[in-house]
Structure formats: structure tokens, C-alpha cells
Amino acid sequence: MTNPVTENRRHFEDLTLGEVIDLGHTLVTKDMITSFAREFDPFPFHLDEAAAKASLLGGLASSGWQTGALSLRMLVDSFLSKLASAGGLGFTDLRWKSPVMVGDTIGGTVTIAELRRSETHPQWGIMALDFDVRNQNGKQVMTMRLANMVETREGAVA
Amino acid sequence: MTRWFEDIILDENFDLGSHTFNADEIIRFATLYDPQYFHLDAEAAKHSHFGGLVASGWHTVSIGHRKMVDTLFAEEDRLRAEGKEPGVSGPSPGVNSMEFKAPVRPGDTVSYQLVVTDKRASNSIPGWGLLFNRLTAVNQRGELVYSADLVGFSKLRDYTMPLKLRVLLALTKLPVIGPLLKRRS
């Protein structure tokens, strides 16, 4: 069954192990940090500058979940939106290496670390993606391995 | 959770409450952070294997985090009302694993639960401990939505800083030596 939304996009068969995706860049502003924190992570060290200075973070920093969400957004823009993506399965080994502070610009790369056919759903392939997210000084801020399903061309025809 | 590291009991269950997802918030989150068609456009989503609009996994996880924070704050308020000093939680170093199981559709109600599965003193940050938390999210039909192994920092109550560290800390507060020490670290 052909999916009209994804038929002209890259499919699982078009992916190469070791392929590196450039995430581009995102400037993280104070407004972005506090609006995400108000909705999802209202710890004082994500909302208030004085509280943040006194915390382990040492200044107003984004929620780790926001750093992840912004990295995901960069991945969608640079890669997943051009791919017959069938959704995420989860991730492993997410590490927030250093905080993302107000005014930081984050970017980095994602590498295709694994490609395999799904055993339970042969119409899909599973790709593992290694994130290497860094700030404007080249300092690593986050790493993780994300697992995402991708439609196969074969599955689309069957 | 809000208790001091020393008082955390392993395998105790914390009910974090529930959240009902509507289409508007699913689309709003996806627009900002995960603009894939099955999170964004109910019509286009019909062509996906989901058969309709579903929430970004990152959205259901972010709501789960919010439920955890709210529970923590409520517990802190309760302890203070009893005249007790609550424990201190810090930022999280990471997530060991996150598995998305059942998709979340508009109208679904997701209930969140947390269990502390293990704890140990931090090797890298003196005075703090690490908590290993298992967070599970279940929908109104009892299906597992996601399961996560999270790591969190929690402050030690019974910690005395070694003399060497106390001297170093005092030095960093001096006007001349302080900036030099900070630059080195």
C-alpha cells in the first residue's frame, strides 16, 4: 500500500550506515527557556536567574528535555521530514553533558549507527541514530542513541 | 523524591497523576519540536500506520516530567506545612533508556507512575547522590505508553565536606586566587 505522503521521500533502502546528518543550528533564547520550563519543567533553576545562579547549573539553563526537543526539531528539519519516517521507538544512553545557557547556539551531527529490518513488521526498517549536540564553543551538551522506524519501498509495494 | 537521599525507600511507588491530551496541544508541541505529519495533520496522519493524529513521544515524556515536578513540589509543600525541611533535588545527568510503546491519540488519558529502583552516592559531585527512577505511563485502557529509566541528583543530608574541599571552596571566594582557581577547573 503506497503512502501518498511519503512515496517521494527517501526510504529505508536508500539509507547508508555511517551517513552523517548536519543538524544546522538553533539559538536558545531566555524566552524559549522560560516558556518551555513554565509548561514542562518549572524548577526555579530553569525559570529564575537568581535561583539558577545558586544551583548546580550556575546560571539560567534550558531544561534537558528542551535541549532534546530542540535537537529533535533540528533532526526533523534536516532529515526526518525528507524521509519515510514511521515514528520513534525510543532512545538509550541520553546524557546531558553540560547545560545549555541563555544565548547559546546549539547544533551538531547525527550519525546513522545501525540499520536493520524489523523482525515483527517486515514493512519497516529500524535505524539507530547517534546524536552529538554541541554549543557554539564546540562543547558537547547532549548525546543519545535514538531508534526510529522507516518505511521500506518493498513494504510500500506489497 | 522530595525526601533526603538517605530517606529514599527503594521500590516505593509514587502516583504522579494523569493528563488528558487534546488535538490542539498535540499539534502545538509538534509544530515547535517534532513537525512530522502524523503529529501535525490529522488528515495526512490517516495515511500513516498510526491511522490518525498521535502525540510526539517527546511530548508525552515532557508531560510526564511535568507531572513528576508537580508531585515533587506538592510533597515539598506538605513537608513544610508539617514543619519539616524537604530534601533537595538537582538536575538530571541523563536517561538510560526510553521505550515508546502505545501511541497517544487526542482524548487519551495517560497516568504516570514513578518507582526509585536504586540509589548511590555520586562519584563526581560531592554531597550529592544519584537516584535511578523507573517512570511508566499507561493509558485509560491499561496499555503501556512508555517506560523510562531516568537518573536524578538528590542532595545528601548527612554530608560533611572534607577539610581539603572546604579550604578550596573558601579560596575560590578570595578576589585574586578565586578567578585563577575557577579558570583552572
**How many beta-carbon pairs under 8 angstroms link A with B?**
104
CATH entry 2.60.40.1080 includes domain A12-157:
no
When scoring B95, B100, B147, B153 by the number of chain A Cβ atoms within 10 A, the one with the most, hence best to mutate, is: B95
pLDDT at B185: 44
Min Cα–Cα distance to chain A from B56, Å: 9
Closest partner CB to B34 (pick from A43, A63, A73): A73
Residues B84-139: tens digit of each pLDDT = 888 888 778 899 999 999 999 999 999 999 999 999 998 888 888 999 999 999 99
CA proximity to B171, closest of B160, B181, B161: B181
Give me the residue spans of the domains in chain A: 12-157
Nearest to B34 among A72, A90, A93 (CB): A72
Contacts of B63 in chain A (CB under 8 A): 40
Mean pLDDT confidence for B64-76: 93
Phi and psi (nearest 5°) for B20? -100, 125
Cα–Cα distance for residue pair A36/B147, rounded to 1 Å: 23
Residues with Cβ within 8 Å of B20's Cβ and at least 6 positions away in sequence, in order, are B107, B108, B109, B110
Domains of chain B: 5-157 (3.10.129.10)
A10-40 pLDDT, tens per residue?
999 999 999 999 999 999 999 999 999 999 9
